[in-house]
Amino acid sequence: MLKVVHEGPKSNAHALAGVDASVLDAIVRDGARAMLTAALQAEVAAYIDAHAGVGFADVGAQPVSAFEVADYAIAAELIRHRLATTILPVSVADRFPDLRKIDLDPRLVWTMFIASAGPQFTNRAIDALTDTITRHVDQ
């Protein structure tokens, strides 16, 4: 049975153990909050899995959740846990030998532009970026 205890003086049991009752209450409260959050997230996910596909199927589409991550290591972790797939440059994909790489045929072609403040504005940073991209475009 769960009992809610309001903050007050230490009980003898906690005092004997040398633990403040408010610390234990906080730990229990945080644990209960985490359990409720996990249960609600699981319930929402189950509901979505059970019902969301119907609307997509009616129009012949597959559901896709697109989002951005801060770096490639995070993307790799999501892939390892079967939570994502992604498109990576070869140079990046080679950093993660444990992940399966699938060649795309035909290869993807990316058109890139460099933005600057105006047609006459150029500086060493733009030149260095252009040189770097040009050197790595065939890799």
Considering the domain architecture, whether residues 100 and 127 belong to the same structural domain is answered as yes
Considering the domain architecture, whether residues 45 and 76 belong to the same structural domain is answered as no
Q: pLDDT tens for residues 11-42?
A: 555 555 566 778 888 888 888 888 988 888 88
Considering the domain architecture, whether residues 94 and 50 belong to the same structural domain is answered as no
Domain-located, residue 37: yes
81-to-35, 41, 84, 87, 99 alpha-carbon distances in Å:
21, 17, 8, 16, 11
Q: Does residue 9 register a pLDDT over 60?
A: no
Domain-located, residue 7: no
Considering the domain architecture, whether residues 79 and 54 belong to the same structural domain is answered as no
Domain-located, residue 2: no
More confident residue, 82 or 65: 82
Considering the domain architecture, whether residues 49 and 18 belong to the same structural domain is answered as yes
Which residues constitute the domain of residue 118? Answer: 72-136
Domain-located, residue 65: no
Average pLDDT value over all residues in the chain: 76
How many domains is the chain built from?
Answer: 2
Domain-located, residue 6: no
More confident residue, 122 or 85: 85
Q: pLDDT tens for residues 91-119?
A: 888 999 999 888 888 877 777 777 777 76
